[in-house]
Amino acid sequence: MTERTLVFVKPDGVQRNLTGEIIGRFERSGMKIIALKMMTMSREFAEKHYEAHRGKPFYSELIKHITSGPIIAMVLEGENAIKQVRGIMGATSPADAEPGTIRGDLGIATELNLVHGSDSAEAAQAEIAHFFTEDELAE
Ligand code: IDP
Ligand code: MG
């Protein structure tokens, strides 16, 4: 099934000049970039994105990091894009992420794990609408 998913390179990835490396891995998998932009999340925008994590011990650090500098947000489209992206990213904690995944090869810590990808079809739909307007998505 062709799907769309929301991906972003987190501030640690942009700051470490890993944007091209990260996007390249997704492109080489065959998925298409149908939207792309650099932006800095406001606190309000980040709190909405990470709503599900509100109240968790790492929440305030997460919001602080994610708003600390620019991110590169994109919409990827392809066969099973949601699961494919999650596989290419690797597990949340770089210590658990397999070699060959972005987080396994390049991640430093759970707080500095370089990349976000939607975790379900419902999340993907909501996150794409949160980050992009309909006319920012390529045909
Ligand atoms: P995911 O990014 O792999 O989907 P989530 O569980 O949705 O992981 O968590 C969102 C983000 O919150 C993670 O990418 C990571 O940056 C941060 N995070 C999650 N769990 C922890 C933790 O136990 N300690 C510190 N940060 C965490
Ligand atoms: Mg998640």
Taking the CA atoms of residue 82, residue 87, residue 93 and residue 96 in that order, the dihedral angle to the nearest 10 degrees is 150
Examine the pLDDT at 119 and tell me if it is beyond 90.
yes
C-alpha pair distances (Å), 60 with each of 52, 53, 82, 125: 13, 10, 26, 25
57 CA distance to ligand 1 middle (Å): 11
Phi then psi for 3, rounded to 5 degrees? -130, 165
121 band by pLDDT with thresholds 50, 70 and 90 = very high
Phi then psi for 126, rounded to 5 degrees? -65, -40
50 band by pLDDT with thresholds 50, 70 and 90 = very high
- Give this prediction's pTM: 0.98
Angle between helices 19-28 and 81-89 (to 10 degrees): 130
High-pLDDT (> 90) share of the chain, %: 99
pLDDT at 70: 98
Task: Find the helix or strand (DSSP H, E) in which 8 lies.
Answer: strand 2-9
What's the token pair of residue 81?
């894009």
**How large is the average pLDDT for residues 87-106?**
98
Examine the pLDDT at 84 and tell me if it is beyond 90.
yes
105 band by pLDDT with thresholds 50, 70 and 90 = very high
Residue to mutate (ligand 1; options 6, 58, 103; most atoms within 8 A of CB): 58
What's the token pair of residue 56?
């968790």
Examine the pLDDT at 139 and tell me if it is beyond 90.
no
Confirm if 123 and 130 have CB atoms less than 8 A apart. Answer: no
Examine the pLDDT at 101 and tell me if it is beyond 90.
yes
Examine the pLDDT at 92 and tell me if it is beyond 90.
yes
- Which domains does the chain possess? 2-136 (3.30.70.141)
120 CA distance to ligand 2 middle (Å): 9
